[in-house]
Amino acid sequence: MTAPAYDSPHAARSTRPPSEDYGPSVPGFEASGGDWDEIAREAIGEERIVVNMGPQHPSTHGVLRLMLEIDGEMVTEARCGIGYLHTGIEKNMEYRTWTQGTTFCTRMDYLAPLFQETAYCLGTERLLGITDDIPERASVIRVLMMELNRVASHLVCLGTGGNEMGATTVMTIGFTAREEILRLFEAITGLRMNHAYVRPGGVATDAPEGFTDQVRAALPKVRGYLGQLGDLMLANPIFKSRLTDVGVLNLAGCFALGITGPVLRSAGHPYDVRKAFPYSGYETYDFDVPTDTAADSYSRVVLRLEECYQSLKIVEQCLQRLDDTEGARVMVADKKIAWPAQLSVGADGQGNSLDHIRHIMGNSMEALIHHFKLVTEGFGVPAGQTWQTVEHPRGELGVHLVSDGGTRPYRAHFRDPSFNNLQAVSVLCEGGQVADVVVAVASLDPVLGGVDR
């Protein structure tokens, strides 16, 4: 056993006594498995301890794998391993029509499905050149759904983040509140997740009767739960001491690493795609972009809570507009693109437009042919490429779509904010304590479905 290297950069801060004190048998390793063996062998050679955390670890938000090199309680190196949830969604989208693509991208970030759907559809509409033709009601419904989704996503972030630190009540309240929102999703899309509700040209179906009242009834409950969460977390001394000054990433670091969303805003920059590059009519809504300057995990919690309130403010404005546009179209008028969107729900839960069926089956052979071609072949999209971004709960979600003029995407690429933000794990964790890794990763709020796609 060699003498400890006191001139190494970490030695001065080390909490571990010189290794002679332990005797020759320490440190010891129990290692098994292919890759892991090699890492440990390498580690013993350099007297490092490498801890593998995940991919099956409850605090890694799914299947994130963290490889931590530790010195006592201090993390000297942190690296991410991802790819455990890669399902080739982007590749699959190249083999489906433009409309079917929305059923694929909704499955990427499963906590924020409506953002992928909307970003993808906005991109498709941009390639089609029909951005201005999207009915206002469809845009309002999209905004409403996205903002409700933002609240639901932040609630999971706060809830699971609390749970990882042992605050189970935070988790139960977060998920109870999210349930209220998922019920609203179910009322309008028929599903709690994997909606495929936003479609190129508009949305799949209009909001059902009484939907705005249902949302209005749910909002005070959500607001109440948010209040409870705030009471439980924000002034709690244990919570504060676990989060304050943990996972700090300053503004320069955020820009260098391309970090957007609440993490960037916690460093003081009010960059929000809804304000900087408005889409779906966000420039007409009244809301604020909260920022902080502490750039730590605690400020990100505060910001996420505040963003929930801002989202509810937008939701209320949407409800007013929905009431004002009752009965208006929710799908673009161009019949070469529009799927029937005034659906009624049958006994089996499946939606059909009865008028449309009557028309194609009873009145017009040409309409039947057209419907058949639209659904099986799909519509052609002019050749070209586009880049559309939306403000996702975790940052800027970008969609790069390439069309070769055919009825299927030639290439669909999603720049998922979780994927990008995970690059910051090393910066957030190195030099901190092992227990802070969990907090720092939770403050990034990665969702591995989006990371791996």
Q: Which residues of this chain interact with another protein, rule CB under 8 A?
A: 82-83, 86, 88, 90-92, 94-96, 126-129, 131-132, 255-260, 269, 271, 276-277, 377-378, 380, 382-387, 389, 396, 398, 400, 402, 404-408, 410-411, 413, 415, 419-420, 422-423, 452-453
State the nearest-atom distance from the C-beta of 136 to another protein, in Å.
17
Distances 230 to 51, 158, 258, 447 between C-alpha atoms, Å? 34, 10, 29, 23
State the nearest-atom distance from the C-beta of 340 to another protein, in Å.
21
Handedness of CA 279, 282, 283, 288 (dihedral sign): negative
Task: Give residues with Cβ within 8 angstroms of 132, minimum separation 6.
Answer: none
Give the Cα separation of 178 and 157 in Å (integer). Answer: 11
Chain-centroid distance of CA 436 in Å reads 23
State the nearest-atom distance from the C-beta of 81 to another protein, in Å.
9
Nearest to 448 by CA among 108, 90, 93: 108
Handedness of CA 121, 122, 128, 133 (dihedral sign): positive
State the nearest-atom distance from the C-beta of 126 to another protein, in Å.
5
C-beta of 300 vs 408, nearer to another protein:
408
Task: Give residues with Cβ within 8 angstroms of 441, minimum separation 6.
Answer: 59, 60, 61, 64, 66, 425, 428, 429
Cα dihedral angle (113, 134, 186, 117), rounded to 10 degrees? -10
C-beta of 1 vs 256, nearer to another protein:
256
C-beta of 240 vs 373, nearer to another protein:
373
Give the Cα separation of 274 and 393 in Å (integer). Answer: 12
- Check if the beta carbon of residue 261 is closer than 8 Å to that of residue 393: yes
Name the DSSP class of 2: P
State the nearest-atom distance from the C-beta of 134 to another protein, in Å.
12
Nearest to 122 by CA among 402, 453, 412, 390: 390
C-beta of 155 vs 257, nearer to another protein:
257
Distances 201 to 136, 334, 337 between C-alpha atoms, Å? 11, 9, 7
Which pair of tokens denotes residue 437?
């890794």
State the nearest-atom distance from the C-beta of 159 to another protein, in Å.
27
State the nearest-atom distance from the C-beta of 133 to another protein, in Å.
10
**Residue tagged 């063996």 (tokens):** 37
Give the Cα separation of 257 and 249 in Å (integer). Answer: 10
C-beta of 127 vs 314, nearer to another protein:
127
State the nearest-atom distance from the C-beta of 91 to another protein, in Å.
6
State the nearest-atom distance from the C-beta of 80 to another protein, in Å.
9
